[in-house]
Amino acid sequence: MLEKLIDDFKLQPPHAVLLALEPLRAISDYVAGIVGPAEALPRGDGHPVIVFPGLALSGAATADLRVRLQQLGYELYDWEQGVNNWPDADFDEWLQRLGAHLQRIHARHGRSVSLIGWSLGGIYARELAKKYPKLVRQVITLATPFTDTGDSTHAGWILTLLNGAAYAVDEALLKRLSVDPPVPSASIYSQTDGVVAWQGCQGKETRCHRNIEVNRVSHMGMVHHPDVLRVVADLLVEPC
């Protein structure tokens, strides 16, 4: 009986209909982003921000978000690692490579850096904040499944295709990824996400961590939708 209850509570990938509708909904979210928020967004204080793209995507996919945030007064940076195909080295060696980029930007501005990560990119942002907490102002993740199980997304087959072998993340790494960073963090998620289980994008609500839902936003449209931009702008302007 106990095993059955545990199985019932396991995260499941989003319904196939949501996955099938992702491309059309992403286009709709993109168009909504062109129209933009109905009201003016708060101006930033000029601190640096790094944006990490999602799986199988490069900085080109986050360019619109970076431009919009730059227009609000922030210093925006791409992650500068090309297409995000999951680490091509040991995970901690990979973080050191990303950390060198973070350290250069921190040294250039002499200010802590906000990290924004979309989907898989949010995993890197959270882990960098754990490794270099003194350099990070805050972490904002967009549809990042950091508390999921390895089989609760539709992204596994993409990783398998990209890497040419069966994709698996061991339990130790999954447990590590679920630990929140010691800096202010927020997870933005949508219950209509067609790629990852929205429940896996939620952490425990604490003084340092918030879960923020945006309604009717697709996974691929997260970096374009005006409601997401509004939330991100409000978070970046908060004193940390």
Q: What is the DSSP string of 182-232?
A: SS-EEEEE-TT-SSB-GGGG-----SSEEEEE-TT--STTTTT-HHHHHHH
The pLDDT assigned to 4 comes to 35
CATH number at residue 57: 3.40.50.1820
- Residue 99 resides in a domain: yes
- Residue 110 resides in a domain: yes
pLDDT above 50: residue 9: no
- Residue 78 resides in a domain: yes
- Residue 33 resides in a domain: no
- Residue 10 resides in a domain: no
pLDDT band with cut points at 50, 70 and 90 for residue 5: very low
The pLDDT assigned to 134 comes to 98
Domain tally for the chain?
Answer: 1
- Residue 4 resides in a domain: no
Over pLDDT 70: what percentage of the chain? 86
The pLDDT assigned to 90 comes to 87
pLDDT tens profile 134-165: 999 999 999 999 987 655 665 555 555 445 54
Q: What is the DSSP letter of 196?
A: B
The pLDDT assigned to 10 comes to 56
Please give the residue range of the domain that contains residue 175: 15-28+43-237
5 is written with which tokens? 């209850």
- Residue 59 resides in a domain: yes
- Residue 6 resides in a domain: no
pLDDT above 50: residue 69: yes
